Structure 1
Amino acid sequence: MNIKTKITLGFLAVLALLLALGGYAHYTVQRLDRSSRTILQDNFYSVEVGQQMLQTLAGAELHVPGARAQSLARFGDQLQREARNITEPGEQLLVDSLTRELAAAAALPADSPGWAPALARMRDLTQRVVALNLRAVTRRNELANRTAKVASRNLLAFVALSLLVALSLAIGVPEAAVGGLRKLSASIEHAAQGDFATSIAIESRDEFAQVGLAFNRLLRHLNEFRNTNLGEVLTERNRVASIVQTLDEALFLFDEARVVLVANPPACALLGLPQAQVVGQAADQLAHANPVMASLLPLVTAPGPAGPQPFTVDQAGEESHYRLLVHNETWFNPVRSQMEFLGTIVALHNISDFKRLDQAKSQYLATVSHELKTPLSTIHFHLKLLLDQRVGPLNAEQQQMVGTLQQENQRLLKLTRNLLDVARHESGAIPLQARPTTVADLVAAATGPLRLQLAPKALALTVDLPAGLPLVLADLEKTAWVLLNLLANAVRYSPEGGRIVVSAACQGDYVQLSVQDVGPGIAPEHQERIFQRFAQVPDAGGAHREGNGLGLSISHEFITTQGGELGVRSAPGAGSTFFFTLPRAHEPSYSPESFSSL
């Protein structure tokens, strides 16, 4: 028998018991109701009429003129009502006797001495009628009580039987339904622990037997699938492990608790520890005993945007430079429908050779720039002498040629100075003296030298500095040079009669300064390249812009070194807004004097 049939039969049995119990209870209640209703309708009615008849006879004893006649008439009505409700044996004889006595009493004169005996006989007969009905009430009440007791015992027996049957069904049916589930649950638990050999024993032919057969087939398939793919998984793992082990970059992998899961040989060599003492250890514990890990761990756990970071290690008295990249790897698990954290990957690429080459390049660049500066300055001096009339007159064509040579020499001198600034900044020869500075002083230092450049193109310069700007932490000279370089570019690319706006605004712990022009704008694909060295980007017409491509690069170095950011917002034909941020000095704010359009 299958489980569905067992459960259905169990529910039907309980339903039949409920219907039988309810039917018997209804029958018993109806029977008791009929019995009580019969007593009320038959005997109690006769008792009530008898009581009324006795009261009427009591009124007939009064010696009031006309009272006896009225009482006898009322007694006759009551006697007729009693005659219509004859329910007990002998009651009819008593009613007939009362009828005769009533007729005899009605025939007596008002002052007859036979009134008293006649009323006494009528009273006696009436009391006998009442007593007869009272005895019937008592008898029927006892019968009803016995019937109720029997019904109560029968109901209790029926309830006990129903409880026994229901209890047996409540124990047997769920057990039949859950027994197979226990076996299935135990087998699933073994499978969850990786034991696919524990199958379900089939001992019946119900639904659970079918489920057990299907689950046993599933276990066999899973076991085959695991055995088939285990080798492939191990091969892939070994392949990935071999790739990691053969990398020339130091590579760490940390889990959520910052326990080292992977450390390849270069990483272990960087720490100066064998791999067995690194893998499986907590990074915090390694940091206590290993100075390299102590220096590395703060960079790994530091919040902020992911990106390459410099990392220097002193090994055997020689500095080794690394390019540190930290990446928190997450992926979407389609099985669980959620993002999961895989680990923190820390890669360190040794750039010591590139650092030495870069230093050599900077030294060579500084040397060449310095060597070029002296002859270029001499050429510039002799060109000025040629233009001096006291040395000798030049014709117009010669003056034009000398003027052109002087302009090109000035360009070479400017390029040489920029190259020297780049080389000095890279080598640290140009220290930045960051001090609390007012934004107003910074803007004034940059806009002062720019006045003469506005007139040839009839440009208007507007400075908009809100009141209450805080002090900024900056090198006044270098930062003013950056702002002046941005303003010079705005003057160069603004059309005649255009407007340049210098503004400032607070942004949290930073102050942003902006230079807005109405020039041709910069295409989005070129906005990242303009801050690179020697970058040349075309304007809206396709022609390359003027300049050597070093001004913005140097400006970017100055601003980022001070903890700020240099950027641009632009669109072709809509002008450009160059901006840079400087950290607040967290000192009392300064209210600048009002600036007007220049």
Structure 2
Amino acid sequence: MSQSEQESLEAARALAAEIRQKAAPDLIPDLEQLEALLAAASAEPENAGDGEMIPRQQLDDLVAENAKFVSVMVHEIRVPMTSIRGYNDMLAKNVVGDLNEMQQQFVEVIRSNVIRMEHLVTDVSDASKLRSGRIRLEPKMDMYKNIALEVEKATKDLAAEHSHTLTFDTPQGLPLLTIDTPRAVQMITKLVINALQYTPDGGQITVRAEGVDGRVKVTVQDNGIGMNEEEQTHIGELFWRGESEHVRSFKGHGLGLPIVIGLADLMGADFSYETAPDVGSTFTVVLPGMH
């Protein structure tokens, strides 16, 4: 097993341990089983050089069981998280009485952590569905400008928080698309969020679209920290995150780019990138045109 594969398994084990703290009691045995499987996978097999392989059916069954477990786990975590967020919102709106300044800060901390967990649960669910082939696209005719508007709406607050200049260059007359719009929004939003997070405050992020042979080429360009050659070998690797101090200053689990790449592959979009340390990164997806 390569070092990168070992690191990915260790990250998966850490994520399972974190989720265990949020899970309902009846899910703990399943989590323990998953952790045991991850631990077994982390160990080098004694007969690694004997040419023995796990039967394909056994691997397929393991993938199916893992997908089923993740589906149940996601549901069981989402239910209490939704309840917590609902009650927290009522507190924030002073439904049960006025809050003092310290209480308001506590409520905001609860809210931000609930939102972070919701995003994590959604990402874990989507990553699992992509790996098991359980995401079904619903392509319809749409215009790219509608996608860009949704992405801008989802990212403008984060840009303002870090004093970034976020520009959307969306020309008129772009080709029409046949696409699953919510998934396209999700894909491009993740690229923009990465650019916003991994660019020092006051940076420039541009989301540019252009028509190319009946398709729409979308580039997300930043002047952020960039990635060196070794780091680029991990792009698309589940749970991998860079080691730089700036990367570690943001909470994350290394699921964004794997989901982007998985969605791009699923919808027939081309994915590419250019990046260099201290120069910035440009990530590109070419969306399929109308057919």
- The TM-score, its normalising length taken from structure 2, stands at 0.69
> What is the aligned partner in structure 2 of residue 520 from structure 1?
225
Matched AA of 2:138: Q
Instruction: State whether residues 261 and 271 of structure 2, in contact with CA within 8 Å, keep that contact through their aligned partners in structure 1.
Output: yes
Q: Structure 1 residue 557 and structure 2 residue 257: aligned?
A: no
Say yes or no: does 1:534 pair with 2:242.
Answer: no
Aligned match of 2:276: 571
Q: Return closer, same or farther for 1:583/1:402 CA change in 2, 3 Å cut-off.
A: closer
Query: In the alignment, what sits opposite 1:405?
Result: 110
Other-structure match for 2:156: 451
Cα-to-partner distance string for 1:370-400 (whole Å, 9 max, x where unaligned): 1011112222233334445453555544443
SS in 1 for 2:252: coil
| Greater length-normalized contact order (CA 8 Å, ≥ 6 residues apart) | 2
- Alignment partners' CA distance in 2, 1:399 and 1:389: 10
TM-aligned CA distance change 1:429 to 1:354, over 3 Å? closer
Asked if the contact 1:530/1:549 (under 8 Å) is kept, the reply is no
Aligned twin of 2:285: 580
Structure with the greater alpha carbon radius of gyration = 1
Give the direction of change, closer, same or farther, for the CA distance of 1:365–1:505 in structure 2 (3 Å limit): same
> Is 1:351 aligned with 2:56?
yes
- The 5-angstrom pairing of residues 422-437 of structure 1 reads 422-426=127-131, 428-437=133-142
Distance in 2, matches of 1:376 and 1:561, equals 30
Match of 1:483 among 169, 175, 188: 188
SS at match of 1:359: helix
- Out of 69, 81, 85, the residue aligned to residue 364 of structure 1 is 69
**Runs of 5+ consecutive residues of structure 1 not aligned to the other structure:** 1-348, 587-598
Cα deviation for residue 522 of structure 1 reads 1.8
**Helix, strand or coil at the partner of 1:531:** coil
Task: Give a deviation string over 1:120-149, Cα, whole Å, max 9, x none.
Answer: xxxxxxxxxxxxxxxxxxxxxxxxxxxxxx
Helix, strand or coil: the match of 2:166?
strand
Q: Percent identity?
A: 28
Counterpart Cα distance in 2 of 1:402 and 1:470: 46
Q: Secondary structure at the match of 1:375?
A: helix
Q: Distance in 2 between matches of 1:383 and 1:377?
A: 10
Q: Is the 8 A contact 2:197 2:250 kept in 1?
A: no
Q: Structure 1 460/541 Cα, relative in aligned 2: closer, same or farther at 3 Å?
A: closer
Q: How does 1:67-466 map to 2 (within 5 A)?
A: 351-387=56-92, 389-392=94-97, 395-426=100-131, 428-465=133-170
- Aligned partners of 2:176 and 2:77: how far apart in 1? 40
Q: 2:219 & 2:259 partners in 1: Cα distance?
A: 17
Q: Contact conserved, 2:226 with 2:280, CA < 8 A, in 1?
A: yes
SS of aligned partner of 1:367: helix
The answer as to whether partners of 1:425 and 1:431 remain within 8 angstroms in 2 is no
Letter in 1 for 2:160: A
Counterpart in the other structure of 2:175: 470
Shift in Å, 1:355: 1.5
C-alpha separation in 1, matches of 2:179 and 2:241: 29
Confirm or deny: 8 A CA contact 1:450 1:484 kept in the other structure.
Answer: yes
Cα distance, 1:392–1:469 mapped onto 2, change above 3 Å: closer
Cα 1:465–1:401, aligned 2, differ >3 Å: closer, same or farther?
Answer: closer
Partner AA of 1:583 in structure 2: P
Q: 2:267 is matched by which residue type in structure 1?
A: Q
Q: Which moved more, 1:422-431 or 1:352-361?
A: 422-431
* Paired residue secondary structure (1:559): helix
Alpha-carbon spacing, 1:393–1:451, altered in 2? closer, same or farther (3 Å): closer
Structure with greater proportional helix content? 1
In the alignment, the residues of structure 2 paired with residue 469 and residue 390 of structure 1 have an alpha-carbon distance, to the nearest angstrom, of 47
CA contact (8 A) 1:539 1:545 kept: no
Q: Residue in 2 aligned with 1:8?
A: none
CA 1:375–1:563: 2 relative to 1, 3 Å: same
Deviation at 1:421, TM superposition (A): 2.7
Task: Identify if the C-alpha distance between structure 1 residues 469 and 528 changes in structure 2 by more than 3 Å, giving closer, same or farther.
Answer: farther
Change (3 A) 1:569 1:382: same
Determine the structure 1 residue equivalent to 2:11.
Answer: none
CA distance in structure 2 between the aligned counterparts of 1:416 and 1:378, rounded to whole angstroms:
15
| Equivalent residues of 2:198, 2:246 under 8 A apart | no
Aligned equivalents of 1:583, 1:395: Cα separation in 2: 52
Cα 1:385–1:559 shift into 2, 3 Å? same
Contact 2:198 2:247 in 1 (8 A): no
Alignment coverage as a number of residue pairs: 239
SS in 2 for 1:513: strand
Q: CA deviation at 1:533?
A: 2.1
Aligned partners of 2:211, 2:205: CA distance in 1, in Å?
A: 20
Distance 1:530 1:544 in 2: 19
**Displacement of 1:454:** 3.3
- CA shift in 2, pair 1:480/1:399, >3 Å: closer
SS at the partner of 1:514? strand
1:517: Cα distance to partner? 1.0
- In structure 2, relative to structure 1, the CA distance for the partners of 1:352 and 1:545 (3 Å cut) is farther
| C-alpha separation in 2, matches of 1:406 and 1:467 | 39
Q: 1:469 to 1:398 in 2, by over 3 A?
A: closer
The answer for the alignment partner of 1:81 in structure 2 is: none
Match of 1:516, SS?
strand
Q: Distance in 1 between matches of 2:79 and 2:278?
A: 42
Q: Secondary structure of the residue that 1:580 maps to in structure 2?
A: strand
